[in-house]
Structure 1
Amino acid sequence: MKRKDITGQKFGRLTVMRYEGAAKNGNATWLCQCDCGQRTVVDGYRLRKGATTSCGCYRREVMREAIRKNPKTAAKIGQKNQFAATEGVNLNATLTVRSTNQSGVTGVSFDQQSGKWNARLFFKGQLVLNRTYCSFGEAVTARQHAERQYLMPLLKRVQTPEAMSLMELLEA
């Protein structure tokens, strides 16, 4: 079957720049430029069906707005005493597996729509890790690497008993 050239077409916030290759499933992949300036490689089927419409910036905007509109969260925005924070980072929340977590690993989840694993880490108000992986193991490794990169220096500076026990968890 001949591939349809979609170069130059726009899908949501993504403008197709060029053919990039084939995915493992045989679908064509395309390098796209997002309206926000980021570039991303996207499966052509997902583009045409409207499943992927941005590099991820749209999802971040929607989630940011949802958080701001949540009355409980909005009431606490700007209140430093709401979290047991160290240098503005709630270490317990960052490293504790929530009851709703289905993967068993903090910051790692499965996206049913894409069939891939997501790894995320929010640090000092920024999403420093937000990537998808084909395997659970890759996502866990990425999350652990990000924890060591961003949290270890903070834990070493703090030197509290709580920080020391969290540091042991990260080093394990």
Structure 2
Amino acid sequence: MAKAKDLTGKTFGKLEVLHRSPKRSKGGRALWVCRCECEAITEVQSHHLLSGSIISCGCARSDAGKAMQQYNKEHLIKDGVYTHLLTSKVRSDSKTGVKGVTITKNGKYQARITVKNQHIHLGLFNTLEEAAAARKAAEEKYHKPLLEDNNE
């Protein structure tokens, strides 16, 4: 077995390697005790450090998540609605091919729309065309003002 490379003193992302841990990972790999820029101490396997798959104690992921939430809040959310979802395509497993329209057990077409986490039942229809028209009218009424404000 090859001698493990000494990583003491090296920096990987936000992690500075302090010393090798006396413990081993569950798979028997070497662990290194590291100090993150946020001052947290963590143990990381050497291959994760060398490959760059781990660059912090977890704080970098948290920071990235907060930055994404802030961006979404400033650019993609209007009145509590994630406007990007309003323009999403029909799901590939849709049996009707129309967003917000499903087939009930009795063969009728049910049209629905969700606005600000409120589910609005638009009705049951005998034909897919009627249900699609009801859904389209509801999108014009509820979604269009939000999309116009966000220039979607």
Q: Which structure has the larger Rg?
A: 2
Which one has more relative contact order, counting CA pairs under 8 Å at least 6 apart? Answer: 2
TM-score (norm 1): 0.41
TM-score (norm 2): 0.46
Indicate the structure with greater strand content. Answer: 2
